[in-house]
Chains A and B, each alone.
Chain A
Amino acid sequence: GENVEQHPSTLSVQEGDSAVIKCTYSDSASNYFPWYKQELGKRPQLIIDIRSNVGEKKDQRIAVTLNKTAKHFSLHITETQPEDSAVYFCAASISSGTYKYIFGTGTRLKVLA
């Protein structure tokens, strides 16, 4: 069935370095790709999203890229800070037919001061 693979499961970086998290989706009908950040004990919150008609989107230190041919998308965080430490989830959504919204398994990011 449809799924979203997310890698790596854990990621440790030095403060100031960049972090990259990658997701691969299986259903070519997917057309919406959000990223969520979940701090310890809190609810997931949307940090950035991209639609299938766009290849890249940037918001300050975070950016998302989409490769529809390869069916993968990535989250890039530059100049990481300790407050970026959290679990990040990607998701892929289909807006017609099965109306599925599938989350990846999450990446625990640790930014070391």
Chain B
Amino acid sequence: DSGVTQTPKHLITATGQRVTLRCSPRSGDLSVYWYQQSLDQGLQFLIQYYNGEERAKGNILERFSAQQFPDLHSELNLSSLELGDSALYFCASSLASNQPQHFGDGTRLSIL
């Protein structure tokens, strides 16, 4: 158990819809990272937050947004969903940028 909790584990929805993925970081970790992993692909970095503020941005689509709340949990919002958005979305947390990242079990998103 990494200490990082992601909900839901699975999500099935239709094109055009909007979903919210939730992540609770490991106790004491201030940084939260979001990644997208399509089938047999690598980890595509989406966005990083540190103590409530956006710290770094990767190849995140304009249809996607995220935030980190005062209690340090984070949400990733995906809107106007397309078939290509089907993937495993991981959240990870770390104490700082030069520390190990601890990954959650991921949310598997399927767009029908």
Contacts and interface: CB of A to CB of B under 8 A. Distances in A.
Interface of A: 31-32, 34, 36, 42-46, 49, 51, 89, 91, 93-95, 98-106
Contacts, number: 58
B-side interface mostly: loop
B98 A45 contact: no
* Interface bracket on B: 20 to 34
A98 B100 contact: no
Contact of A43 (B45, B99, B105): B105
A43 B96 contact: no
Given A43-B90, A89-B43, A103-B42, A98 B106 contact: no
A105 B42 contact: yes
A78 B97 CA distance: 30
Q: 3 closest pairs, A vs B, by CB?
A: A95-B98, A32-B98, A43-B103
B20 to A, nearest CB: 20
Contacts of B42: 89, 103-106
A34 B101 contact: yes
Interface string B48-60: 1010000110000
B45 A103 contact: yes
A106 B43 CA distance: 8
B40 to A, nearest CB: 8
27 contacts: A32-B99, A34-B100, A34-B101, A36-B101, A43-B106, A44-B43, A44-B101, A44-B103, A45-B2, A46-B101, A46-B102, A51-B98, A89-B42, A93-B97, A94-B97, A95-B98, A98-B56, A99-B55, A99-B56, A100-B56, A101-B45, A101-B56, A101-B97, A103-B45, A104-B42, A105-B42, A106-B42
